[in-house]
């Protein structure tokens, strides 16, 4: 299903109006292709591969000089600031338990100040994104990146349950008890084996649920509350912290949301 995201409160400026963005959402991943936008400092809930489609871009991370790269691996829960908004970008977000991540078909070729850059399929990804209707399955195969191994089936079961119904109250202590684990051990092991925290994993699952409802034509605010966010402001704050802009700002760009 495809839904066009249209302005909700005010018309976009001329530069943004002429830009075209596409966002694909499926269980396990999200793919964005479009204008760079002026993103604020934020931290992603899950791992994200960013690729500059028009050229290199800069990433600012605390306590480190700016990193310039054509492709960059954003770690989960690490605050960063993506500069050069005039550069169109590809962003691939991966659920750490998804099959796309588990295939580990990708690989970063350079380390800069402890961060990974230069994806080995960078040129092919850029070429794919030049197509108005890119082959998303092919793109995901090329972009897949290594992840921690989920060795404990109890952790895998919790992650599966969260994805199945993120609208439920997700309490770590209850999940830990049901799995026969102490809360501290559960939280530590969940983060080690999924690559993100329990709380951020729940946020990611709820974001996908909001996107599903929005793509189906439902009101964004109502969808956020139905997905388990405490309030519209809670959803907006979480969205901005996760992606660097507000939900309203995203809906003002000339964009299409694809839900398969």
Q: What is the pLDDT of residue 11?
A: 35
Band of residue 131 on the pLDDT scale cut at 50, 70, 90: very high
Q: What is the pLDDT of residue 186?
A: 97
DSSP-based helix, strand, coil % in the chain, nearest 5: 35, 25, 40
Element holding 92 (H helix, E strand) = strand 89-94
Q: What is the sign of the dihedral through the CA atoms of 151, 152, 157 and 158?
A: negative
Share of the chain above pLDDT 70, in %: 85
DSSP 184-212: HHHHHHHHHHHSS-HHHHHHHHHHHHHHH
Task: Walk me through the domains of the chain, giving residue ranges and CATH numbers.
Answer: 2-149+246-259 (2.60.120.10), 153-233 (1.10.10.60)
Q: What is the pLDDT of residue 260?
A: 62
Higher pLDDT, 235 or 10: 235
Which pLDDT tens digit goes with each residue over 65-117?
999 999 999 988 889 999 999 999 999 988 766 555 444 345 789 999 889 99
Query: What is the DSSP secondary structure assignment for residue 114, as one 8-state letter?
Result: T
Q: What is the pLDDT of residue 64?
A: 83
Instruction: From 41, 76, 58, select the one nearest 113 (Cα to Cα).
Output: 58
Q: What is the pLDDT of residue 244?
A: 79
Q: What is the pLDDT of residue 10?
A: 33
Which pLDDT tens digit goes with each residue over 31-62?
999 998 888 899 888 888 999 999 999 999 98
Whether residue 124 is predicted with pLDDT greater than 70 in this model: the reply is yes
Band of residue 145 on the pLDDT scale cut at 50, 70, 90: low
What is the Cα–Cα distance from 213 to 226, expressed in whole angstroms? Answer: 9
Q: What is the pLDDT of residue 180?
A: 95
Share of the chain above pLDDT 90, in %: 45
Q: Are 175 and 196 in contact (CB under 8 A)?
A: no
Whether residue 6 is predicted with pLDDT greater than 50 in this model: the reply is no
Which pLDDT tens digit goes with each residue over 185-195?
999 999 888 87
What is the Cα–Cα distance from 11 to 257, expressed in whole angstroms? Answer: 19
Q: Are 209 and 198 in contact (CB under 8 A)?
A: no
Q: Are 194 and 101 in contact (CB under 8 A)?
A: no
């Amino acid at each position: 299903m495809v839904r066009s995201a249209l302005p909700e409160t005010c018309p976009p400026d001329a530069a943004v109006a002429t830009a075209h963005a596409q966002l694909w959402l499926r269980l396990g991943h999200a793919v964005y292709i479009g204008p760079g936008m002026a993103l604020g400092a934020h931290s992603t809930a899950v791992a994200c591969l960013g690729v500059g489609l028009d050229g290199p871009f800069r990433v600012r991370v605390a306590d480190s000089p700016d990193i310039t790269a054509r492709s960059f691996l954003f770690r989960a829960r690490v605050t960063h600031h993506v500069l050069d908004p005039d550069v169109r970008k590809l962003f691939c977000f991966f659920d750490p338990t998804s099959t796309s991540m588990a295939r580990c078909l990708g690989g970063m070729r350079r380390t800069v100040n402890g961060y990974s850059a230069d994806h080995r399929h960078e040129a092919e990804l850029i070429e794919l994104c030049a197509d108005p209707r890119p082959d998303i399955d092919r793109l995901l195969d090329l972009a897949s990146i290594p992840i921690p191994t989920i060795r404990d089936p109890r952790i895998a079961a919790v992650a599966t349950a969260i994805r199945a119904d993120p609208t439920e109250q997700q309490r770590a202590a209850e999940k830990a008890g049901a799995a026969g684990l102490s809360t501290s051990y559960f939280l530590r092991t969940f983060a080690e084996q999924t690559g993100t925290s329990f709380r951020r994993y729940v946020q990611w699952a709820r974001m996908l649920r909001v996107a599903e409802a929005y793509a189906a034509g439902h009101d964004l605010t109502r969808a956020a509350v139905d997905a388990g966010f405490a309030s519209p402001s809670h959803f907006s704050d979480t969205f901005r912290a996760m992606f660097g802009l507000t939900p309203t700002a995203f809906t003002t760009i000339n964009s299409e949301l694809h839900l398969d």
